[in-house]
């Protein structure tokens, strides 16, 4: 019988590839989220601290995987992490979110990240057993890795599944409970269906507007605020020009505007949760949606 070699010196090439690849994925995700945080000057908040903590943990785990120090232990730790990520991605799929948010401003379908996370967890946790008994033990360990995070998050996932997504008619009526998934691309050429749910909606029914939907704690929304302020002041100096309105989606945060700001401040009905990628900028003319604006400079 050939003597066994110490763990670390006998790591299979497949494990090396999975370990390094997953480490690079984690480092890439951490870098993109760190760049997003660094690019937005906002006050400290629980959400911002949580994101910063996630970046630090992903960076540490990614470096550990790539370094090859205690490879087996690092693989199992990463497998548990990716199994947890898979549960979060599954929750985002259940909530009909369009992006997982795991790569900063780079939008990735949560269905893709769910498949990636499950594949990574399996690749990291599955060893190379040489006999039937070892294969059975490996299968049990792999089941634990995948099922433990899923079991912990099952109540949240079931709540999301029961809640579902509400439906909204073109006229703005909402049926069903749960999150209202907004589809602005379907509003082109029609009246904005949210006007009755905006507290300053009557003001937006007349004239020409750039309506900017934003939410509290959105880094991209905070990033464009200085440009919006300059644009609003430029437009305000020209009589009869297009005006700018900022509409905050619920849940509302601490007020970030005041009477001196050169735009109309409004908010959407807080009785529901609305899902849409923010910031969303719509060009309105006499309450009708003309187009979706990617940048107010265009």
Number of folded domains that form the chain = 2
Q: Whole-angstrom Cα distance, residue 228 to residue 88?
A: 33
Six-digit token pair at 178? Answer: 């749960």
Q: Are strands 165-168 and 243-249 parallel, antiparallel or unpaired?
A: unpaired
Considering the domain architecture, whether residues 68 and 113 belong to the same structural domain is answered as yes
Q: Are 220 and 256 in contact (CB under 8 A)?
A: no
Q: Whole-angstrom Cα distance, residue 273 to residue 284?
A: 23
Q: Are strands 280-285 and 208-215 parallel, antiparallel or unpaired?
A: antiparallel
The range of the structural domain enclosing residue 215 comes to 179-293
CATH code at 288? 3.40.30.10
Six-digit token pair at 179? Answer: 């999150």
Q: Whole-angstrom Cα distance, residue 159 to residue 174?
A: 20
∠ CA 239-240-246, rounded to 5°: 100
3 belongs to a structural domain: no
Q: Whole-angstrom Cα distance, residue 15 to residue 97?
A: 33
171 belongs to a structural domain: no
**Domain end point (choices 111, 132, 163):** 163
pTM: 0.53
Considering the domain architecture, whether residues 20 and 99 belong to the same structural domain is answered as yes
Considering the domain architecture, whether residues 208 and 262 belong to the same structural domain is answered as yes
Q: Whole-angstrom Cα distance, residue 112 to residue 116?
A: 6
170 belongs to a structural domain: no
298 belongs to a structural domain: no
pLDDT, tens digit only, all 298 positions of the chain:
444 444 444 677 888 888 999 999 999 999 988 887 775 544 455 666 777 888 999 999 999 999 999 998 999 899 889 988 888 888 777 766 667 778 877 888 888 998 999 889 888 877 665 544 565 666 666 566 556 555 555 555 555 544 445 555 555 545 445 567 788 888 899 999 889 889 989 999 999 999 999 988 888 888 888 888 888 888 888 888 899 999 999 877 666 555 667 889 999 886 777 878 888 999 999 999 999 998 775 4
Q: Whole-angstrom Cα distance, residue 205 to residue 216?
A: 25
Considering the domain architecture, whether residues 116 and 229 belong to the same structural domain is answered as no
Count of alpha carbons within 13 Å of 52, Cβ hemisphere only? 11
273 belongs to a structural domain: yes
Considering the domain architecture, whether residues 144 and 237 belong to the same structural domain is answered as no
Considering the domain architecture, whether residues 60 and 95 belong to the same structural domain is answered as yes
Six-digit token pair at 263? Answer: 């735009």
Considering the domain architecture, whether residues 149 and 215 belong to the same structural domain is answered as no
| Matching residue, tokens 């880094």 | 219
**Domain end point (choices 136, 163, 190):** 163
99 belongs to a structural domain: yes
Q: Whole-angstrom Cα distance, residue 120 to residue 73?
A: 15
């Amino acid at each position: 019988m050939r003597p066994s070699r110490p763990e670390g010196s006998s790591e299979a090439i497949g494990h090396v590839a999975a370990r390094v690849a997953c480490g690079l994925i984690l480092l890439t995700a951490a870098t993109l989220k760190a760049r997003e945080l660094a690019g937005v000057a906002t006050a400290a908040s629980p959400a911002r601290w949580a994101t910063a903590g996630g970046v630090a943990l992903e960076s540490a785990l990614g470096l550990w995987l790539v370094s090859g120090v205690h490879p087996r232990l690092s693989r199992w730790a990463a497998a548990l992490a990716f199994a947890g990520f898979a549960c979060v991605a599954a929750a985002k799929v259940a909530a009909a979110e369009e992006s997982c948010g795991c790569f900063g401003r780079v939008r990735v379908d949560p269905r893709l990240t769910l498949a990636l996370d499950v594949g990574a967890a399996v690749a990291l946790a599955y060893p190379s057993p040489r006999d039937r008994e070892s294969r059975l033990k490996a299968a049990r360990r792999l089941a634990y890795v995948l099922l433990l995070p899923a079991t912990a998050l099952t109540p949240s996932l079931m709540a999301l599944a029961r809640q579902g997504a509400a439906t909204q008619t073109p006229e703005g009526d909402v049926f069903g409970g749960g999150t209202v998934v907004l589809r602005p691309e379907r509003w082109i050429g029609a009246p904005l269906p949210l006007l009755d749910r905006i507290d300053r909606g009557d003001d937006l029914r007349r004239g020409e507007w750039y309506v900017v939907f934003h939410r509290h704690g959105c880094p991209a929304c905070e990033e464009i605020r200085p440009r919006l302020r300059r644009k609003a002041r430029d437009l305000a100096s020209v009589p009869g020009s297009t005006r700018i309105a900022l509409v905050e989606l619920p849940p509302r945060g601490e007020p970030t505007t005041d009477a001196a700001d050169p735009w109309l401040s409004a908010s959407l009905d807080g009785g529901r949760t609305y899902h849409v990628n923010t910031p969303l900028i719509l060009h309105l003319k006499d309450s009708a949606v003309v187009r979706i604006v990617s940048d107010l400079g265009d």
